Amino acid sequence: MKKRVWIDTDPAVTHCNREVDDAYALIRALRSPELEIVGISAVFGNADVDHGFAMAQEIVARSGRNDVPVFKGCAGAGDRKDNPAILGLREALEEEPLAIAALGPLTTVAAALDHPDARLDHVEDIVFVGGRRKGLAFLVVPGQPRPFPDMNFESDVAATETLLNLGCKMTLAGWEVSNQFWVTPAHLDLLLAKGDACAGWLAEQSRPWQSRWMKELGTTGFTPFDALAIGWLLRPQDFQSLHWPTEITGTGKEGLFVADPSLSGPSVTYLQSVDVITHREDLMARLMGQPILANGQGA
């Protein structure tokens, strides 16, 4: 049986900061026969919601999946007025249980679920690209001038608080697990050489983002953060996870969403590590458009 999934995303790719990790996540999911993607919603974050909506539609088209509906969601923190994405997610939950891959700020997801008619019992998991272990700084290399922000969380702290207070099951696919997983120039070359047109487009769009990481941070590539959230839904056996209580302190850029066994708040599943070799092979096969069977194995 296919796993029903809703994806909430903030793809930039060609605009603003040109971050590409949402595209890696979306293409991976759209090329996974194990998943029934019942909807994709665009939320503000890496870019404004109008651009994110158009980019999500473009990625769906390039992946050959025009059967998947795309909805425009919330334009900013605190914007919880009903919109097509909020109503679409709520309706999808009415039908059957599903998992939510939350690749951007949690505004749309919180607005959909914080409603008397929302079927919270049908939320199997919210896989959120955010949160950290206690004491963890988001540093790629020693001597980095300043840590990376926990942007998805910091962009709408109240939305995270809402979902935890509702008792929703949540998995944190945040910095710690993502920072173990890299896309290098050789991987982009492989996408171009052996992938289809969609894979080639993704590789070309990734070059500026990768060059920025390598120039500014001295890395060997970049981390496709959001792709790990989809990976958890596809291949949980590749991950080491912990069940830890959480705590939220502060607001905005001063906010911290921390998981640690010493805390006493709502508990989450915290992804700590991943089998990098196996997981990268799976990601690359899907991105290149190689046939994948319904059991997740290569054809």
Residue 299 lies in a domain: no
Distances (CA, A) of 116 to 73, 113, 127, 194: 19, 8, 22, 49
Instruction: Give the pairing of strands 70-72 and 98-102.
Output: unpaired
Domain ranges, residue 150: 3-184+223-287
Q: How far apart are CA 113 and CA 88, in angstroms?
A: 11
Query: How high is the pLDDT of residue 250?
Result: 85
Query: How high is the pLDDT of residue 1?
Result: 87
What is the average per-residue pLDDT within 258-274?
A: 97
**CB distance 52 to 10 below 8 Å:** yes
Reduce the DSSP state of residue 298 to 3 states and report it: strand
Q: How many domains does the chain have?
A: 1
Residue 172 lies in a domain: yes
What percentage of the chain has pLDDT greater than the value 90? 90
**CATH number assigned to the domain comprising residue 108:** 3.90.245.10
Query: Per mean pLDDT, which range of 27-41, 245-259, 281-295 is the poorest?
Result: 281-295
Residue 208 lies in a domain: no
Query: How high is the pLDDT of residue 151?
Result: 95
Mean per-residue pLDDT of the chain: 95
Residue 162 lies in a domain: yes
| pTM of the entire predicted model | 0.96
Residue 201 lies in a domain: no
Residue-wise pLDDT tens digits, 13-27: 998 778 999 999 999
Residue 298 lies in a domain: no
Residue 297 lies in a domain: no
Residue 213 lies in a domain: no
Q: How far apart are CA 40 and CA 84, in angstroms?
A: 11
Residue-wise pLDDT tens digits, 182-236: 999 999 999 999 999 999 999 999 999 999 999 999 999 999 999 999 999 999 9
pLDDT of 125 above 90? yes
Reduce the DSSP state of residue 68 to 3 states and report it: coil
* pLDDT band with cut points at 50, 70 and 90 for residue 294: low
What percentage of the chain has pLDDT greater than the value 70? 98
Residue-wise pLDDT tens digits, 46-68: 999 999 999 999 999 999 999 99
Give the closest residue to 284 by CA, choosing from 208, 181, 205, 212.
Answer: 181
**CB distance 232 to 171 below 8 Å:** yes
* pLDDT band with cut points at 50, 70 and 90 for residue 143: confident
The count of residues in the chain is 299
Strand partners, 270: 172, 242
